[in-house]
Amino acid sequence: MLIEDVKKSIVNAGFQDGEKMPSVRRMAERLGLSVNTVHRAYKLLAIDGRIQLVHGKGCFWGAAPSFDVKPEESVYSVVERLFQNDLDSGFLNAFDELPSCKELSSRYAVSPYIVKKFLLQKSAQGILRHVGHRFFFSEERPIGKSNYVLFVHRSDEFGRLKIESERESDVFRTFAQIAAEQKIAVKFIGYHESSNQFFLSDGRVYTIKNDVHCLGVFLSTWLVYDASKLFAYFATFKNPISVWWEYAPDMVPMSARNKKKWAFYNVAFGKEAGVIVGRYLKSKNMGPVHYLSPYHASFWSKARLQGLLEAGTDVVPLVDDRFASPFDLIDVANRGGIDSQVLLNSVLESLLKKATLDKFVCSNDRVAASLIDFFKAKKLPTPYVVGFDDTIESYRYVFDSFAFNVGTMVKEAIYHIVAPTIYAEQRRQMQTPLGRVVEKH
């Protein structure tokens, strides 16, 4: 039965204005349909204004009756928010069993009864499934031996994938590991932007097409300069698409916004990382600090500074807005015939002439390592430094660094492909898995 037919059946059921409707599960039994199908129909009817969804009370036809909100309602709202935060942070893993009711009740500071009732509500909506006392996220589609996921990433004209940063390497390794654990085959495809073509690893041209065996696509936009050209190939793609979006959230092409079965994952380009670093510094009573960035023409550098300020950090910026990224600086250096590290050192030396503090938040780990080298070369005491990316440089030089949550991003991206309707309806289209500061001693 088509979803519009399901909506029509509910509309024609003769409910009166303000009447409480059957639960999703009971309506599913009445119509002989799956819980997930009825859940989708209810949500669409709510969007149309035909029914009202009242948290903790149920569904009402037309206008919901007025009633006093009991204290228990606010408790469920808190659990809902904390549960969502745990999804965002990666504490809850889409592929694993959820923590026990006892563990979650302790974590959320509510009774096990409240937690169990909340989880049972999610089960009735088709979002979770439970086996005895154990709860799991519902998997929507079975995965067969012939199924696979397309992983699309930039390449050269011969189909060789370009993996030139630690974050790219982390995404590839994590994706392959999780896919192997879930017995999901992955087909890696190169995208050569200059020719606007796709390639297999052996250099043969690959044609994007709908394939019944393809579960979905993971699209990487890392250093893809015109994502709309890449997205155009998937405009009529029927299966779910997870996009690793490495630009500002508001730069998503209009053609790809709010598309059904599309989910975007922004790991490093929001202000959240700066907020977390700022809170970390405040917890250590560190401040004021300099924010040092030679890449302040970029959205991500500005966002990190904004996050520090929103966290209440006392910040004195030392920034250069000529470059938008390390790759931008490298291009300028190459055109000038000089070493990129020499150019970076020159930019930092110029910025540091205005330095008055001995604590620094650096826009990335490369800047942090270069800052430490600068102080050592001048035979000055090494300042306190915190960077972003948690790369191998932060371990070689031993400084704190913010680790972006690549693992959670990849898990959620794969799960969106496996269970696009159930899971995606619970998330924002642009998702930002939260990371943490990794201390070095």
Residue 14's φ and ψ, nearest 5 degrees, are 85, 30
- For residue 290, give the nearest of 281, 299, 298 by alpha carbon: 281
Round to whole Å and give the CA distance between 106 and 102.
6
Query: Is 428 a residue whose pLDDT tops 70?
Result: no
Whole-number Cα distances in Å, 151 to 154, 336, 405? 10, 36, 19
More confident residue, 440 or 125: 440
Round to whole Å and give the CA distance between 414 and 94.
9
Average pLDDT estimate for 151-156: 96
Average pLDDT estimate for 246-250: 82
Whole-number Cα distances in Å, 37 to 86, 101, 259? 26, 27, 19
Cβ contacts of 211 within 8 Å, gap of 6 or more: none
- State the chain's maximal CA–CA distance in angstroms: 83
Residues 249-273: pLDDT tens digits? 888 888 888 788 888 998 888 888 9
Q: Are 58 and 402 in contact (CB under 8 A)?
A: no
Residues 42-76: pLDDT tens digits? 888 888 888 887 766 778 888 766 655 444 447 88
Q: Are 231 and 253 in contact (CB under 8 A)?
A: yes
Query: Is 383 a residue whose pLDDT tops 50?
Result: yes
Return the pLDDT at 422: 57
pTM (predicted TM-score)? 0.72
More confident residue, 269 or 105: 105
Which residue(s) pair with 53 in the sheet? 59
Query: Is 423 a residue whose pLDDT tops 60?
Result: no
More confident residue, 9 or 143: 9
Return the pLDDT at 171: 95
Round to whole Å and give the CA distance between 375 and 353.
12
Average pLDDT estimate for 21-36: 79
Return the pLDDT at 70: 44
The answer to whether the peptide bond before residue 71 is cis (omega within 30 degrees of 0) is: no
pLDDT band at 389 (very low <50, low <70, confident <90, very high): very high
Which region among 52-66, 193-207, 273-287, 359-373 has the lowest average model confidence (pLDDT)? 52-66
Which region among 278-282, 405-409, 421-425, 432-436 has the lowest average model confidence (pLDDT)? 421-425
H-state helical runs in 69-111: 71-89, 101-108
Query: Is 128 a residue whose pLDDT tops 80?
Result: yes
Residue 260's φ and ψ, nearest 5 degrees, are -65, 135
Which region among 52-56, 120-124, 292-296, 303-307 has the lowest average model confidence (pLDDT)? 52-56
Return the pLDDT at 69: 43
More confident residue, 219 or 38: 219
More confident residue, 20 or 208: 208
Residues 316-334: pLDDT tens digits? 999 999 999 998 999 999 9
Which region among 33-37, 139-143, 240-244, 323-327 has the lowest average model confidence (pLDDT)? 139-143
**Helix, strand or coil for residue 183?**
coil
- Look over the chain and give the mean of its residue pLDDT values, rounded to a whole number: 88
Q: Are 45 and 51 in contact (CB under 8 A)?
A: yes
Sequence-separated contacts (24+) of 1-7 with Cβ below 8 Å: 1/33, 1/37, 3/37, 3/40, 3/41, 3/44, 6/31, 6/33, 6/37, 6/38, 6/41, 7/41, 7/44, 7/45
**Helix, strand or coil for residue 196?**
coil
Residue with tokens 């890392």: 222
